[in-house]
Amino acid sequence: MTPCPFCPPLLASPVAEHSTCLAIRDGFPVAPGHTLIVPRRHVASFFALDANEQADLLALLNQVVAELDEEFAPDGYNVGLNEGTAAGQTVMHVHLHVIPRRAGDAADPRGGVRWVLPRKADYWTKG
């Protein structure tokens, strides 16, 4: 069995930490500063985290965004969670993606995360 990349020993150094979660740069970033927020406890589903862990994850999200704003000054963010294999989760340890975005980094960014289902994403030109 392959070891979990988000459990100790970590392959990446944390860029921010909280008692129940930490933030690391994505090993395969889609944009400069792409960061993952990961609970310290190994659990596959966000919904299996207790309320304190969920709150801490979101508090660390605010801290990470403030630090990314300072370091990269992006124009926007995509924040995403792949929950279950049907939704694209490949590492069965909860992790929240924080992806800094720049104006012009995509030809037409409208719809954002809706593009995981391309046939449904372009809702503004239909109807």
Say what the pTM is: 0.92
Asked if residue 8 is part of any domain, the answer here is no
What's the rounded Cα separation, in Å, for the pair 58 and 60?
5
Distances (CA, A) of 44 to 69, 90, 98, 105, 123: 29, 10, 18, 31, 32
The string of pLDDT tens digits covering residues 90-114 is 999 999 999 999 999 998 888 888 8
What value, to the nearest 5°, has the Cα angle with vertex 30 and ends 24 and 31? 80
The string of pLDDT tens digits covering residues 4-44 is 999 988 878 999 999 999 999 999 999 999 999 999 999 99
Q: Which domain holds residue 98?
A: 16-125
Task: For residue 121, give the CATH number of its domain.
Answer: 3.30.428.10
Determine how many CB atoms are found less than 10 A away from the CB of residue 107: 5
Helix runs in 48-116, H state only: 51-72
Asked if residue 85 is part of any domain, the answer here is yes
Asked if residue 91 is part of any domain, the answer here is yes
Q: Total domain count for the chain? A: 1
Asked if residue 6 is part of any domain, the answer here is no
Cβ proximity of 46 and 26 under 8 Å: no
Task: Give catalytic residues, as residue numbers.
Answer: 95
